[in-house]
Chains A and B, each alone.
Chain A
């Protein structure tokens, strides 16, 4: 590859620089377009809530009107934002850990063994992946009511622990693992489960990173199902709580905007922390033929 590059280097330098500039311009414009709504939200968080109520969201900068009052309200005001924040945090962490472990456990079963009904069950995984959750939402809601699981986080976590697309992804990832690893483990006298926990889990790090981001995003931003399940407002998550601020009887934009902006931060940190493995994990688990 180095050679090809060198061969071309002489004749195509100009072309190359032009191409680079062109690409950078193109992608910078795209980046700006993508950042605008976030930027608008950011500057709105320094404007009085009533202004937003009156003029909508825009990019007008008028530093005279800027104040930290929305953030003061967010951090020191008397409201439930931090209860919602804590609830979302807890729910997201539990969901991600549980989903990753259980799904990896199941995926390993599919990837490492041959057993009766394996193909039937795997087709089932694929089939479940293409069933919109909304189809089962109402019957599941009814079932949860009958089982007395309403207003309970378990009702939010349990149905998605063995998560079809995560299982599928992990299985793809594990298909690329060396079988010798398992054999070596067996020779060392490890049990089947010991092999999974001691040998397989460690090599799945990039895959875990990729799925932690995707599942974390989903859990942190989940709205519809928690909305149906949760009743007590002390169990509200951020998305549910923020939405109570949008009300025909007096919107509370001051808290909504600063709170909305702040709500992006934890998941952004998660993303930044794991993004190095993200592409790697995604590539390894990518859909193969």
Chain B
């Protein structure tokens, strides 16, 4: 009896598996709109008439929807050059690994791939770069695009990636908490002001103002860029133990020692373990790229109406830059693809055109790379927009103030960048801010390790 039951259960389970499996696969091939794709997997558009099929690899679910919607716009405007995108969503590390292995073996690569900024340099470091030079398709849009965001995906003056957003680093202040502690965030102009406010906040509340990052470098990179420093020297050689890097870390360490900064669980504001600590007011301030807005609306929902977006503090008026772009994904076209030219044109439209950039703000809540969108107040101050509703300042005000001074670190597009980032985020920052290690000797160690690693 029991055996029969078990057998029955098992075959039922299998049948469910098979049936629903077939069901959903047919769904994705017939559905004309791919929106509402809850998770992962492969999505295909349906297109009438003649078209070219382009395969796209991404690791960001939302991009599938976005690319499909924009490709449909493209098809409408270019009836003789219709495309059908077949998108595969893969795991982040896995997608990058597979892409590099596919490019190396010359087998199984897609036509188009999203490559994250941190991984990009490893695709442009070889002698023969396997990505298509996109300079020609960027040209028509170039005047309105934030230059530093093109530069991070470039090599020897050629552009290989289409940026998704600027990721302008801004300050997010919890105004409710700050008011209680008697702090007016609009008076914070310099890092010294920031530090002072942090100490005042700590004395008033016993809590920490902001975080010293241990698993990311949003604030560290910002401060280093403001000082005009970098992780490489003028010849492009790794130089992570230079004075400017040490000064920045020292400055942050001083703030930590003064009680202004703590180390948030997860080690940085953009982390699942960290969100609750901002959400419940344990920490009050985040120095983060603009796209953190979407994390607020998804994971820090209790803060609605309590957060102001402001320009980041600077060291002084002689800073090399006011802010920098942080994070990002460059869309690349594989040079060996038989449809590389078409793919490049289509993706330039999907990523850089004004209509695409409107959607980048509307749907994703990112600061668009095409700044022609930034001044369109019907868009940026649209009262129906959930990001506009969430924050108690106009999100683009801070951006427009810093618009002409959005820089970058040169090292981000160097082949050493992934290794530098890795050693800082797994070792240097943890040891300094969590284990109290000596800054200079940690940096010297890191320099030594990087030289070993990159030499051989």
Contact = CB atoms under 8 A, between A and B. Distances in A.
Interface of A: 50, 53-56, 73, 75, 77-87, 89, 145, 148, 150-151, 227, 231-234, 236, 240-241, 243-252, 255, 265-266, 269-270, 272-273
Contacts of B61: 247, 249-250, 252
Given A233-B89, A244-B89, A249-B92, A79 B38 contact: yes
Contacts of B41: 79-80, 83-84, 233-234, 236, 241, 244
| Max chain B Cβ within 10 angstroms of own Cβ: one of A78, A145, A150 | A78
A50 B23 contact: no
Contacts of B40: 79-80, 233, 241, 244-245, 252
B406 to A, nearest CB: 22
3 A-B pairs closest in CB distance: A86-B21, A80-B41, A82-B20
Given A50-B298, A269-B13, A252 B39 contact: yes
Interface string B182-194: 0000000000000
Contacts of A148: 107
A73 B9 contact: no
Given A54-B299, A86-B21, A250-B62, A81 B39 contact: yes
B298 A85 contact: no
A232 B224 CA distance: 41
Interface string B72-98: 000000000000000011111010001
A246 B299 contact: no
19 contacts: A54-B279, A77-B39, A79-B24, A79-B37, A80-B40, A80-B42, A82-B17, A82-B21, A86-B17, A150-B107, A232-B88, A233-B89, A234-B41, A236-B41, A243-B94, A249-B60, A255-B39, A266-B10, A273-B7
B234 interface: no
Interface string B17-61: 110111111011000000011111110000000000000000111
Interface stretch (B132-140, B269-277, B378-386, B418-426): B269-277
A139 to B, nearest CB: 14
A23 B400 CA distance: 72
Nearest to A54: B276
Contacts of A240: 91
A145 B105 contact: yes
Nearest to B9: A269
B38 A77 contact: yes
B42 A233 contact: yes
A245 B89 CA distance: 10
A233 B88 contact: yes
A248 B276 contact: no
B204 interface: no
A73 B6 contact: no
B436 interface: no
A54 B107 contact: no
A231 B55 CA distance: 12
Contacts of A245: 39-40
Nearest to A247: B92
A252 B37 CA distance: 12
A252 B38 contact: yes
B358 to A, nearest CB: 21
Contacts of B14: 89, 266
A53 B275 contact: yes
Contacts of B338: none
Nearest to A75: B20
| Max chain B Cβ within 10 angstroms of own Cβ: one of A236, A246, A249, A252 | A249
B102 interface: yes
Given A240-B91, A269-B6, 18 more contacts: A53-B275, A53-B299, A54-B272, A75-B20, A80-B40, A82-B20, A84-B41, A86-B21, A86-B22, A87-B21, A244-B89, A247-B61, A247-B91, A252-B39, A252-B61, A266-B13, A266-B17, A273-B3
B157 interface: no
Nearest to A246: B91
A83 B24 contact: yes
| Max chain A Cβ within 10 angstroms of own Cβ: one of B21, B88, B298 | B21
B37 A270 contact: no
A271 to B, nearest CB: 10
Contacts of B90: 233, 244
B56 to A, nearest CB: 11
B60 A83 contact: no
Contacts of B13: 265-266, 269
Nearest to A141: B101
Interface string B269-292: 000110110010000000000000
A60 to B, nearest CB: 14
B90 to A, nearest CB: 6
Contacts of A265: 13
A144 to B, nearest CB: 10
A247 B60 CA distance: 8
Contacts of A75: 20
Given A77-B39, A255-B39, A53 B272 contact: yes
Contacts of B9: 269
Nearest to A87: B21
B294 to A, nearest CB: 8
Contacts of A83: 21, 24-25, 41
B42 A232 contact: yes
Contacts of B273: 56
A249 B59 contact: yes
